[in-house]
């Protein structure tokens, strides 16, 4: 048998096997790209050797953060991200969560649209004139890209209509800037002619174009824009401050109708946006957009569903940085085949030890991928992964590289097991895996080099020791220049050392040293919180201090003794025990306690803690005191201050503009106090504000 004949035979057998897996078993073991490559290789060989082509050959079958170059803009209303789902089942789960939260079984009307693959921006119009444009950034602060946005032909510099009649004095419009496919292709053709490197995908091209310092370059890129929501809507008050929310006065109570109103004001709206009368139409919309994806003039990576009723949107509220009333239903991610050349272990800033697969570089989803996180031992076990295995790699949600499966049939003889470390790969300290957690963690939070920047930032933060003049960037600079390794080293700094650093003059150095001196006077509760023990927040630290009274007692406390403290359960108790069990941590704590000082805690009787075991939740704006001040006052009387309302909550304190927490408290029949009521309650027990 000739070499060509042997190769053709092997390819035919392999492709037939993959056909069986795909069409019969519905369990494909390789991505489409690998299948297509094999088929192309077979066709090429058969074309070159026509006498070797057989009638039963599978080839005969018909078988598819802000750049320094720009000023920063603080968003008046945060620019939120969207949570994602990747299956119809997950989409239905989202709908169920919406209905459960609304306590309703009525059909949900959705505004549905393609998920544009571009860059989110916010356009601010005042008196109908475009005055500012900004990127999303971190959701709170973005980049000022006004000059470049003005070059986009589809964005009006002036709204149609009359201010105060057709729209309020201030209108912020949120939407997506993207590069149409034709513009992207033309841009890369031009780059090739010039011998320049082209862009990997339209999204990167759009982002790069918006971040050009020369707006004349941006103007040549032929960017486009579609509006998808409103941001802040209001009027100008004295001295340029913004006041009353005028959204409902000028805009409809329907998300879809609002987009139509924006269109009437001259802002482009994606033509594929649809109003769906119920959630059952969601799958058909998703499938319809997926089917026409390649025919659209712009790139998309999924669909977006938003509860159409604005009142319901407000009732549903937000979680973290995403609204509960919207979801991105993403398209299946692109997949490729590659090899795991090694597995390394990284230590994160919180001590989490994460296995990372080092891959043979592969181009997938528009980028070259060489690494993929494996998350934890459970995920490796689920995959059955070994070093040197061939794997299917996917960019989950077109963003994060993910290993989907192992092609066991391609496992080589030199495949080897993945062995997890028994000590921290960075500092060689003990590692632990708590019950109920899948992640290994380094226990040397104050010592480990991988965690030291985060540990020092936390130690000096406002809620801990509040070191005046010590910001996050300065902490990073001090660590990078090896002037500090642990929080203890902060108190060894001298004015001369600090003043000699880049961008640090004598005055700044003097202020920092003074701030460090002031930080030495603290409380035991703040000291415990500042240590950064996992899951020990302000309230837990205060409870520990009030229960044990001394640092020595906390250090030596047993697991059972810790569990007797209010708000300390099994997991938190283990975190505390493991922290103080690590010799490196004890060395740092000892060094800190030698320079810090806090007053002896007075042992309180039950009469001194009249609100013991009672749970309060604060919501809204308090005018007679700050939220932090109110929290401290309540805790001094033994109360627990929680962040969310539950059936166990005793009181909700509602200030001005109280939101969903007040609504939930009323629904659960929980007692609600006004700010005056809280002040009276505190005064009744001898605490005055």
| Coarse DSSP helix, strand, coil percentages of the chain, rounded to the nearest 5 percent | 40, 20, 40
Sheet of 224-234: strands edge to edge? 129-135, 119-126, 170-178, 224-234
Residue of 61, 115, 306, 631 with catalytic role: 115
* Cβ neighbours of 379 (radius 10 Å): 15
Kindly state the tokens that stand for 286: 């998703």
Give the integer Cα–Cα distance in Å for 41 and 672: 73
Per-position DSSP letters for 495-529, written without gaps between them: HHHHHTSTT--HHHHHHHHHHHHHHTB--HHHHHH
Nearest to 128 by CA among 246, 265, 242, 269: 265
Q: How far apart are CA 51 and CA 57, in angstroms?
A: 12
**Lookup: tokens for 18:** 């993959």
Nearest to 198 by CA among 211, 208, 189: 189
DSSP-derived pairing of the beta strands 615-619 and 640-642: parallel
Instruction: Please give the Cα distance from 303 to 327 (Å, whole number).
Output: 8
Cα–Cα distance for residue pair 266/80, rounded to 1 Å: 24
The verdict on whether 53 is a catalytic residue reads no
- Angle in degrees, CA 89, 94, 100, rounded to 5: 125
Which residues does 553 contact at the CB level (< 8 Å), separation at least 6? none
Lookup: tokens for 393: 């790699």
CA distances from 194 to 153, 207, 214, 398, 580 (A): 26, 21, 19, 30, 62
Measured CA to CA, the distance from residue 283 to residue 293 in angstroms comes to 15
In terms of Cβ atoms closer than 10 Å to its own Cβ (0-12, 13-18, 19+), residue 214 is: exposed
Task: Give the residue numbers annotated as catalytic, written as ranges.
Answer: 115
């Amino acid at each position: 048998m000739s070499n060509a004949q042997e190769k053709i035979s092997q390819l035919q057998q392999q492709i037939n096997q993959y056909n069986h897996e795909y069409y019969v078993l519905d369990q494909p073991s390789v991505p489409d790209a690998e299948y297509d490559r094999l088929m192309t290789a077979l066709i090429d060989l058969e074309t070159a050797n026509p006498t070797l082509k057989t009638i039963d050959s599978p080839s005969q079958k018909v078988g598819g953060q802000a750049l320094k170059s720009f000023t920063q803009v603080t968003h008046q209303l945060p620019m939120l991200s969207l949570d994602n789902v990747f299956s119809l089942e997950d989409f239905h789960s989202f709908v169920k969560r919406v209905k459960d939260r609304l306590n309703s079984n009525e059909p949900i009307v959705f505004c549905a649209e393609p998920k544009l693959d571009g860059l989110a921006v916010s356009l601010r119009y005042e008196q109908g004139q475009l005055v500012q444009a900004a990127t999303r950034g971190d959701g709170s602060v973005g980049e000022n890209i006004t000059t470049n946005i003005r070059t986009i032909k589809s964005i009006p510099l002036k709204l149609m209509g009359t201010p105060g009649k057709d729209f309020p004095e201030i209108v912020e419009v949120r939407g997506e800037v993207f590069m149409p496919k034709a513009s992207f292709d033309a841009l890369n053709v031009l780059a090739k002619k010039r011998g320049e490197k082209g862009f990997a995908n339209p999204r990167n091209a759009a982002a790069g174009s918006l971040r050009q310092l020369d707006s004349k370059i941006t103007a040549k890129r032929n960017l486009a824009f579609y509006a998808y929501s409103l941001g802040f809507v209001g009027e100008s008050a004295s001295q340029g401050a913004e006041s009353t929310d005028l959204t409902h006065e000028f805009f409809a109570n329907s998300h879809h109708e609002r987009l139509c109103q924006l269109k009437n004001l001259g802002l482009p709206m994606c033509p594929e946006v649809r109003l769906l009368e119920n959630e059952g139409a969601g799958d058909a919309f998703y499938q319809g957009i997926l089917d026409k994806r390649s025919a659209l003039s712009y790139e998309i990576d999924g669909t977006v569903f938003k509860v159409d009723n604005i009142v319901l949107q407000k009732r549903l509220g937000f979680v973290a940085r995403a609204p509960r009333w919207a979801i991105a239903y993403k398209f299946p991610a692109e997949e490729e085949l590659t090899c795991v050349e090694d597995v390394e272990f990284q230590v994160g800033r919180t001590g989490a030890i994460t296995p990372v697969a080092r891959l043979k570089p592969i181009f997938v989803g528009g980028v070259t991928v060489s690494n993929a996180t494996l998350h934890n031992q459970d995920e490796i076990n689920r995959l059955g992964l070994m070093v040197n295995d061939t794997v299917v790699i996917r960019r989950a949600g077109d963003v994060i590289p993910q290993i989907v499966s192992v092609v066991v049939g391609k496992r080589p003889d030199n495949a080897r097991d993945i062995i997890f470390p028994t000590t921290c790969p960075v500092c060689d300290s003990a590692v632990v895996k708590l019950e109920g957690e899948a992640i290994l963690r380094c226990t040397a939070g104050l010592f480990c080099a991988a965690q030291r920047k985060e540990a020092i930032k936390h130690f000096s933060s406002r809620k801990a020791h509040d070191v005046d003049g010590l910001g996050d960037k300065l902490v990073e600079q001090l660590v990078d220049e090896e002037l500090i390794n642990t929080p203890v080293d902060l108190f060894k700094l001298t004015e001369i050392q600090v003043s000699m650093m880049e961008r640090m003059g004598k005055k700044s150095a003097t202020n920092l040293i003074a701030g460090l001196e002031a930080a030495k006077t603290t409380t035991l509760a703040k000291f415990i919180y500042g240590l950064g023990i996992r899951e020990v927040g302000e309230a837990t630290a205060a409870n520990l201090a009030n229960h044990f009274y001394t640092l020595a007692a906390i250090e030596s406390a047993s697991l059972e003794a810790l569990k007797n403290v209010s708000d300390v359960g099994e997991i938190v108790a283990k975190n505390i025990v493991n922290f103080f069990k690590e010799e490196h941590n004890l060395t740092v704590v000892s060094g800190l306690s030698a320079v810090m000082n806090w007053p002896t805690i007075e042992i309180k009787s039950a009469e001194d803690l009249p609100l013991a075991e009672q749970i309060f939740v604060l919501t809204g704006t308090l005018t007679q005191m700050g939220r932090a001040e109110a929290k401290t006052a309540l805790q001094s009387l033994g109360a627990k201050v929680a962040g969310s309302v539950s059936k166990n909550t005793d009181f909700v304190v509602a200030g001005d503009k109280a939101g969903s927490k007040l609504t939930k408290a009323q629904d659960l029949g929980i007692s609600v106090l006004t700010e005056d009521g809280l002040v009276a309650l505190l005064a009744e027990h001898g605490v005055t504000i």
